[in-house]
Structure 1
Amino acid sequence: MPSSYDVIVIGLGGMGSAAVCHLARRGQRVLGLEQFGPAHSLGASHGGSRIYRQSYAEGPQYVPLLLRARELWDQLGRDAGESVFTRTGFLTVGKEGGPMVDGCLRSADEWGLEHELLDAVETRRRFPTFTPGSDEVAFYESQGGVARPEATVTAHLTVAERSGAELRFHTPALHWTADEGGGVRVTTPNGVVTAGRLVVAPGAWAPKLLPGLAVPLRVERRVMYWFAPEGGTAAFDVARHPVYIWEESAGSEVYGFPALDGPGGGVKVGFHSVGDRADPDRLDREIHDVEAEALRTFLRPRIPALAGPLVRGAACTYTLTPDAHFVVSLHPEHPQVTVACGFSGHGFKFVPVIGEILADLAVEGTTRHPIALFDARRR
């Protein structure tokens, strides 16, 4: 089958924009398709900030990918001429022996990452906005920081176009097929486009565009909140306040950031582990008072100054796998198709390196990066 392009990329959010950028840099004739506009707010790659951390509680297997992602974030900022990453330090607060603190320690020890373990008194002294209980500890790493999702997506798209990629926005992929002899066809409202290979990075639309994967996918709604802290945002300044995750013994996790949006912009915080099943085409984007109050209830004894008036909120989606590991691999039935989905609410910090991996798989069929954990054939 003749090919109009070397590679088509479906979805130009975090992962897809990175993939199209890496492919174009390698001289591939690449077409990117996106159903919405560039750097939109209708999926999972918006909200102004995402946590980057290296001592990964989810498993030490992730650490090499995180180290490479940081290198690529720095490179992207240079290439695009815009800052997409801010180093702030990262703090995990929880019970000693809890899964987050122990997981961070395990990854830090295995990879020789610089870190500190602080008791409650030292945590309150170093980070006075936090008030951990006497039975809680904090893991701190200085290399943590903030990745800017909209800026990252925009930068990847800018570099991709500069490198020769063709990008089509407001052009959904309605259907794709893989030819038995090689090559792919993608149907859009404007007709069919063809290529030798395909990358599918559809975010919350993965269950619709990638049916039949062995790994089941569940889409859930999450809400990001910006509260106006008591006394203003000075105590939450980026030079003083790290990004953080606070693990409560009942299993709730709250994540948060310093004040990134100026004195009137509030301070962003949210529940990581609280959400309901959702359809991305009919997502409830209203921010309900009862939701905001549940988060204030969590914050009052822990970050008291932050439990103030709601400045704004925004809904987004998580696409979850049962084991919370990603799906990044060749398609089980079609070797000319690469899939990237199921990032389970912790994928954005990997965006630059996932883009590199997707380009590897699409061009070479393999990658030097450790991705066995992400096989689409696992059950």
Structure 2
Amino acid sequence: MPTPLDPTTSKILIIGCGTWGSSTALHLARRGYKHITVLDPYEVPSPISAGNDINKIARGRSRHSGSFSGTEDDAVWVSEEVRIKATEGWMKDPVFKDYYHETGYVIAATKPENVRELEETERPTPERGFVELSDAEAFRKTMPEGVLTGDFPGWKGWYKATGAGWVHARKALTAAANEAERLGAKLICGSPHGRVIELLFDSDSGDVIGAKTADGCTHTADRTIVCAGANAPQLLDMKDQLRPTAWTLAHLKMTPEEANLYTNLPVLFNVERGFFMEPDEENQELKICDEHPGYCNWVTDPKTNHRSSMPFARHQIPRISEKGVREFLREAMPHLADRPFAFARICWCADTPDRAFLISPHPDHPSLILGVGGSGHGFMQIPVIGQYIADCMEGKLDERMTRSWRWRPETAVGRDWTDTQGRFGGSDVVMDFQDVKEGEWTRVANPRL
């Protein structure tokens, strides 16, 4: 059994200072833990963290694809509880509230089967504040004149003015890490001193007792929490429960006049084409994401013959994704469709087989806590996800969350690695970066981190 916890004396080690790691450090520090160390191979905000982004969609209700591992009642309750608590955090928590922008959203699809799924998941009725959009003029009227200039061919959708919008992801992530540090957490970020190369195990019990970093230092702890996202399988055998999967994004440089026109816009999201949000204030760049089921990077270990998706950082996107971005723009904002990219990158997450989170003690290493498996919908919970991971560490997590988020390798037996998991767009298949030749990457002038 692991040693009992005492916030004044217990040493807590968090591996990863991205979205979930920074949130966990914050909530543990707020609970009075005095010896928190956070390790990350990059300075905050990490250039490979999914949370290091100018903005992300804030949805008014959870849209979850795939089956949960608990009962259906568990699934409904868990998603609603997390949604409510996260929204409260964005609106009230002083660390996060300045970065939440309730601008509303437009949700749409083109294929009839996807329109029907949106009707089922969104329940877009007038009573719930939705306005139906059935032609190009209706879509264009959701934003100031001159923003949406496209013909929206075949689009069907709805507009909701409240209950959703966007958040400034990078600022929220940085604020969480800074506040955790202000409250006493020790952040060791940057390689080699923050890059974990292996977990440390007790020779007698087999329990995890800390981690070793690339500079040769060992960091021992009473509890070790892995919040390493898509890189977690490189530290621990996850029994195929995580599939590191990447998405693509690009920025367009806007003029000051355009940036002013594009302020306080609702998010526009076509589940087959892509989405965009208003330009950021600092760089005045408009972020566009093409929509697709994601990329993996399949690599086979020659020693074990085990095949896994290996994350990597790159500030370019495949040309096929550039094509997707520009097709989306031609349908919605053709006046921007040929503008050169000012920035582009790939963005990694880690899918569980059922897209429910994996927040659990490890069954074989009771001092090891897992906080992974964001599955493409993990950032919105940054105000509260660390609370749940802390509850898990302390043995206080709600039993319905415990069931839904448990260690569950049985769900990965015979896993279909090509499963799109309810995502649409592009060729409607999960792609492989190994198929992208070197000359098939989009060139970006003066790429930056």
Q: Indicate whether 1:70 and 2:90 are aligned.
A: no
Kindly provide the amino acid, as one letter, of the partner of residue 197 in structure 2. L
- Give the 5 Å matches for 1:287-326: 287-309=317-339, 310-326=341-357
- Which amino acid is the alignment partner of residue 397 of structure 2? T
Q: Residues 238 and 330 from structure 1, CA distance in 2 versus in 1: closer, same or farther, beyond 3 angstroms?
A: farther
How far apart, in 2, do the equivalents of 1:230 and 1:157 lie? 32
SS of the equivalent of 2:54 reads coil
What is the distance in 2 between the residues matched to 1:113 and 1:211?
48
Instruction: Decide which of 3, 9, 13 is 2:18's aligned counterpart.
Output: 13
- 8 Å contact from structure 1 (residues 88, 238) kept in 2: no
Greater displacement, 160-169 / 181-190: 181-190
Pairing 1:140–2:160 present = yes
Q: 1:162 aligns with which of 182, 198, 209?
A: 182
Q: Secondary structure at the match of 1:142?
A: coil
Partner of 1:85: 100
* Mapped contact 2:290–2:321 kept (Cα < 8 A): no
The residue identity in structure 1 corresponding to 2:263 is V
Query: Contact between 1:31 and 1:168, CA under 8 Å: does it hold in 2?
Result: yes
The answer for the alignment partner of 2:64 in structure 1 is 58
1:213 corresponds, among 224, 233, 239, to 239
Unaligned 5+ residue runs, structure 1? none
After superposition, give the CA deviation of every residue in 1:160-214 in whole Å (9 maximum; x if it has no partner). Answer: 1222212211212222245539662222234222222121000121111231335
Matched residues, percent identical?
23
Shift of 1:91: 1.8
How many angstroms does 1:275 deviate by? 3.8
- Could you tell me how far 1:277 is from its partner in structure 2? 1.8
1:348 — aligned with what? Answer: 379
Aligned 8 A contact 2:227 2:372 in 1: yes
Give the alignment's Cα RMSD to 1 decimal. 3.2
Cα distance, 1:220 vs structure 2: 3.1
**Residue 383 of structure 2 aligns to a residue in which SS?**
helix
Q: 1:172 aligns with which of 195, 199, 204?
A: 195
1:235-274 pair list within 5 angstroms: 237-239=262-264, 241-248=265-272, 253-261=273-281, 265-274=284-293
Alignment of 1:84-163 (within 5 A): 84-95=99-110, 98=114, 101-106=118-123, 114-121=128-135, 122-127=138-143, 129=148, 131-133=151-153, 136-140=156-160, 142-163=162-183
Q: Deviations over 1:91-117 (max 9, x none)?
A: 2112566365224424x88xx994304
- Mapped to 2, the partners of 1:347 and 1:363 lie a distance apart of 21
Secondary structure of the structure 2 residue equivalent to 1:233? helix
Q: What is the deviation of 1:24? A: 0.8
1:367 offset after TM fit, Å?
3.6
How has the CA–CA distance of structure 1 residues 369 and 20 changed in structure 2, closer, same or farther, with 3 Å as cutoff? farther
List runs of 5+ in structure 2 lacking aligned partners: 66-75, 298-308, 412-449
Question: Compared with structure 1, are the counterparts of its residues 312 and 182 closer, same or farther at alpha carbon in structure 2 (3 Å cutoff)?
Answer: closer
Q: Counterparts of 1:182-201 in structure 2 under 5 Å?
A: 184-188=209-213, 189-201=215-227
Superposed displacement of residue 236, structure 1: 5.6
Distance 2:311 2:332 in 1: 36
Q: What secondary structure sits across from 1:344 in the alignment?
A: coil
**2:70 is matched with which residue?**
none
Return the alpha-carbon distance in structure 1 between the equivalents of residues 90 and 84 of structure 2.
Answer: 10
- Residue 327 of structure 1 corresponds to 358
Residue 47 of structure 1 corresponds to 53
Partners of 1:243 and 1:373 in 2: how far apart? 30
Partners of 1:57 and 1:102 within 8 A in 2: no
The 1:142/1:31 distance shift into structure 2, 3 A limit, reads same
Q: Structure 1 CA distance, aligned partners of 2:336 and 2:270?
A: 14
Stretch deviating more after TM superposition (314-323 or 343-352): 314-323
Please name the residue that 2:306 is paired with. Answer: none
- Distance in 2 (CA, whole Å) between partners of 1:144 and 1:55 is 8
Q: 1:167 to 1:266 in 2, by over 3 A?
A: closer
